[in-house]
Amino acid sequence: MANDKKVCAHCGHTSEDEFEGDICPQCGLTYWKCSKCGYTLSASTPPETCPSCNLKCEFTNVTCYTPECGGPGNIDPRL
């Protein structure tokens, strides 16, 4: 991944660390990963254009929801 910072697409909050509980500490949202460049951000819904590669991309919800990958607050490594 070219950019390891977590960025909230809604409020713009950035962090070098994971957002605790997969929620932006500023506004409270979810992890999304760009299908083209792998950029990860947190938002209530994914943007239409990726803020990293500037392309119209599909985003996958990569928030972990099960104990096998650490539960909320973690990105599911299988995705």
Domain residue spans in the chain? 6-69
CA-closest candidate to residue 47, choices 28, 33, 66, 37: 33
Q: Which residue has the tokens 């990293």?
A: 52
Q: Which residue has the tokens 């500037």?
A: 54
Burial of 48 (0-12, 13-18, 19+ CB in 10 A): exposed
d(C-alpha 15, C-alpha 25), whole Å: 10
What is the separation of C-alpha 25 from the centre of its chain, rounded to a whole number of angstroms? Answer: 13
pLDDT digits (tens, 9 = 90+) for 5-57: 777 655 677 888 777 766 777 776 688 999 999 999 887 788 999 999 999 99
d(C-alpha 66, C-alpha 79), whole Å: 13
pTM recorded for the entire structure: 0.62
